[in-house]
Structure 1
Amino acid sequence: MRYLIITLLTSFIFASNLIIQYPNLKKEYYENQIINLDVKVITPKEMNLTFIPPLGSDINITKTNKFIYNVHLKYKNDNEIKNFFIIGKNTYKQITLSDLYKSVPLTKVKNFCNVLADKLNISNPISSEYDKNHNMVSFTINAKNANLKDFTLHLKDENLTLVSANKATYFGLVGKDKKKIIFYYFNTQNDNFQKISIPINIKEQTISTQTDLNPEENTIFTPVNILILSFIAFLIIVFLVYQKIWLLIPPILLSALLIYMNLPKGEAFLARGTKIYILPTINSTVFYIAPIGTKVEILKKEKHYTKVKINNKIGWVKNEDIK
């Protein structure tokens, strides 16, 4: 018992001898804001310290000399308790980070996307027809120090895919009468709401017809299929005029080819983390990332991409991701 008391007292003394500074600490942070906190730890003697960050946070540690550690923490200022631990020989220090500053609730405005960021912009916006009642909108979100996981526009069938901590892709459906999407994010550098406007321009009707994004669309009436059907009709007319049995062979073969081309090509499983793209192009928007063992229906295969149907949505995956 005496040994335990001595050990605890010794640990307290060594922990209290640590000099801990917060060079960039602010007095206030907004709720759900991403905090970048620098912690400078100065030891009374040469020591090997272990730093345990809060759960779900990022940490970067550099040791400038024998006595100084510079620790950078990045985490979301949410409702969870954020404990930061410093551990070494005869040293133990627990710091509750939320006790270092005041958390300020944010007064939200209409059409707020729930994101606080140093900056945020939209790139690669795509708009196209989806079905008789909806248009499809997709875009890439680029941000800095943002809680991108919380992004939402409350659109029908919306899907957010995180590419990295500072980048995400978004997909959603809007009504036919919608001409633009307007939303706001909170700029933590200027302490105000910034407006983002995305125009919805349905200029190329061929986007949905070429890629068959609409699962309800009858895809038999594509330009290639219409050409084949026209040729079949012409051959049948020739048969009716000349009444030769062998003239039925070409239209029968073409009909069989047409049926084969439009039949589903079977089913497959996608590898975990497979990206499903809106278009079969390199820079296309990712609108879904498959979990492990996702089953899809194969609709069409091309040189580098395969068109699949998943959860009543149409998309494209790279051929190497099909099992």
Structure 2
Amino acid sequence: ATTFKIKGQQVSNYDDKNHMVTLSIEAHEANLEDMALQNSHEFGVEQLQRNHAKVTAEFYAVLPREQKGLHFTYFNTVKKRYISVNIPINVVNASVTTQSDLNPKVDAFEKLKKYALIGFSLFFLLMFVWKRDFFYLILGVVASITLLTFYIPHKQICVKQGAPLYILPTQTSTIGTRISQKFNTMLLGERGNFKKIEYQKGIIGWIKNEDLCEN
């Protein structure tokens, strides 16, 4: 490669013993499809795109939870030598991020925000009834919509038995595991033809819309 840049990274829980690191890579004159790691039992390249010399891709690797960093080298054809790349892995933050995707933290600050929004909604609606000023009605509606947006429960979906759970929401993504039996779970997100779910505690992935239970 003549250039190699990490444009972004994400760490998420994979299972009870491992986490998954996903790197967004941009390079020039590079064979990103040949990337490999010696200390990972599962890795791969997704969403590989070429635009003349420029190459972009998503590289993922499943690593032990105790591993604190990711290290690899690539050969720079301009400098004529190997370049080391070291990426720190914050396992604690990965766990917290995953859990916050499932349920908002119900701490004192969250309760304060929730009660404040409820109070503002009621106050503005009462002011509208009293003053007959549509300005208060607009503020009340905005506060109510904000309250519903942040605190409405996650939608429940049903997943078929045997459905593949993909690591990434792409057609060529690696299958992490398969759903052992039909079950209901919370919808964590959507992207194209995929839905993000938690299969078991700490195991989060993507399923296709076609693998949802039929009504």
Q: How high is the TM-score relative to the length of structure 2?
A: 0.51
1:150, CA displacement in angstroms?
0.6
Distance 1:287 1:266, change over 3 A: closer
Greater relative contact order (Cα < 8 A, sep 6+) = 2
Conserved? CA contact 1:137–1:171, under 8 Å: yes
1:152, CA displacement in angstroms?
1.0
Q: Which residue of 1 aligns with 2:160?
A: 267
Find out whether 1:183 has 2:72 as its counterpart: yes
Q: Which residue of 1 aligns with 2:132?
A: none
- 1:134 is matched with which residue: 18, 31, 39? 18
Q: Secondary structure at the match of 1:131?
A: coil
CA distance in 2, matches of 1:122, 1:299: 34
Q: Which residue of 1 aligns with 2:152?
A: none
Find out whether 1:314 has 2:197 as its counterpart: no
Task: Say which structure is richer in helix.
Answer: 2
Structure 1, unmatched stretches of 5+, are 1-116, 213-221, 225-259, 278-285
CA distance in 1, matches of 2:171, 2:9: 16
Q: Secondary structure at the match of 1:177?
A: coil
Conserved? CA contact 1:170–1:287, under 8 Å: no
Conserved? CA contact 1:307–1:316, under 8 Å: yes
1:181, CA displacement in angstroms?
1.1
**Aligned counterparts, 1:1-323, within 5 A:** 117-154=1-38, 155-165=40-50, 166-204=55-93, 205-211=95-101, 261=156, 265-267=158-160, 277=168, 289=172, 299-301=185-187, 304-305=190-191, 306-308=195-197, 314-316=204-206, 322-323=209-210
1:161, CA displacement in angstroms?
0.7
CA distance in 2, matches of 1:300, 1:289: 24
Q: Secondary structure at the match of 2:98?
A: helix
Conserved? CA contact 1:161–1:288, under 8 Å: no
CA distance in 1, matches of 2:35, 2:173: 20
Count of aligned residue pairs for this structure pair: 142
Q: How high is the TM-score relative to the length of structure 1?
A: 0.36
CA distance in 2, matches of 1:175, 1:303: 26
CA distance in 2, matches of 1:138, 1:128: 8
Per-residue CA deviation, residues 31-57 of structure 1 (Å, 9 max, x unaligned), is: xxxxxxxxxxxxxxxxxxxxxxxxxxx
Conserved? CA contact 2:43–2:62, under 8 Å: yes
CA distance in 2, matches of 1:177, 1:192: 31
Conserved? CA contact 1:169–1:287, under 8 Å: no
CA distance in 1, matches of 2:36, 2:76: 16
CA distance in 1, matches of 2:42, 2:34: 16
Conserved? CA contact 1:160–1:169, under 8 Å: yes
CA distance in 2, matches of 1:151, 1:179: 20
Q: Which 4+ stretches in 1 moved above 6 angstroms?
A: 295-298
Per-residue CA deviation, residues 74-123 of structure 1 (Å, 9 max, x unaligned), is: xxxxxxxxxxxxxxxxxxxxxxxxxxxxxxxxxxxxxxxxxxx1111212
**Which AA in structure 2 matches 1:301?**
L
**Which AA in structure 2 matches 1:266?**
V
Distance 1:145 1:139, change over 3 A: same
Conserved? CA contact 1:160–1:287, under 8 Å: no
Choose 1 or 2 for highest CA Rg: 1
Q: Secondary structure at the match of 1:289?
A: coil
Among all aligned residue pairs of Structure 1 and Structure 2, give the percentage whose two residues are the same amino acid. Answer: 22
**Which AA in structure 1 matches 2:98?**
S
